[in-house]
Homo-oligomer: A and B are copies of this chain.
Amino acid sequence: MTHPLRQHIEEIIDLTDEEFEYIFSHFETVKKRKHQYLIQEGEIAQKEYWILKGCVKSYFLDENGKEHILRFAMEHWWITDYESFVIQTPSNIYIDCLEDCELLYISYENRDKLTSEMHKMERFWAKKSKLGRIALQKRILSLLKNSAKERYDLLLEQYPKLFQRVPKKMIASYLGVSRETLSRLNS
């Protein structure tokens, strides 16, 4: 059976068996339990994760200790704190597990090595990075432009599975609305 990571990469570039084996040798597997952290504020992100199983959230805490959710990630999504990972500076955010998770990860050094050695992998991650940038631009447009109701509908349309897996108060935090507002939207 084709490894899901290979299927995922081959949505963008084709690989030979040897190429995938070589790429895969740069990854490690790790299991995390619900509530465990992938990164905490103040740490430098050394790993980019690819989710085999489970669901995580990234968020920051404001000065009052209130959680603001940046994004969720589920099966076959990449996640790290890209600011910390790319520039290798201390992170301002947390990423933790909403469920027991099984993850692949690649270290900063191995990712840099792979992209230097293999034009194909540079191209793969460049495409992923471009798509990530687009998702963030959409989020900004949505925060500036859409009502809470519109943001809710957009999220429901894009990620219907999220609503079955993630507590409502977290959806509210992601949308930047109160839990009460969300209850109204939800009814």
Contacts and interface: CB of A to CB of B under 8 A. Distances in A.
A102 interface: no
Interface centre among A116, A125, A133, A144 (most CB of B within 10 A): A133
A134 interface: yes
Interface of A, secondary structure class, is: helix
A139 B144 CA distance: 11
A126 interface: yes
B82 A134 contact: yes
A60 interface: yes
Interface string A110-135: 00000110010011011001111110
A91 to B, nearest CB: 11
A40 interface: no
19 contacts: A60-B141, A62-B145, A68-B144, A68-B145, A82-B134, A83-B134, A83-B137, A115-B123, A119-B119, A119-B122, A122-B122, A122-B126, A126-B126, A126-B129, A133-B133, A136-B137, A136-B140, A140-B143, A143-B143
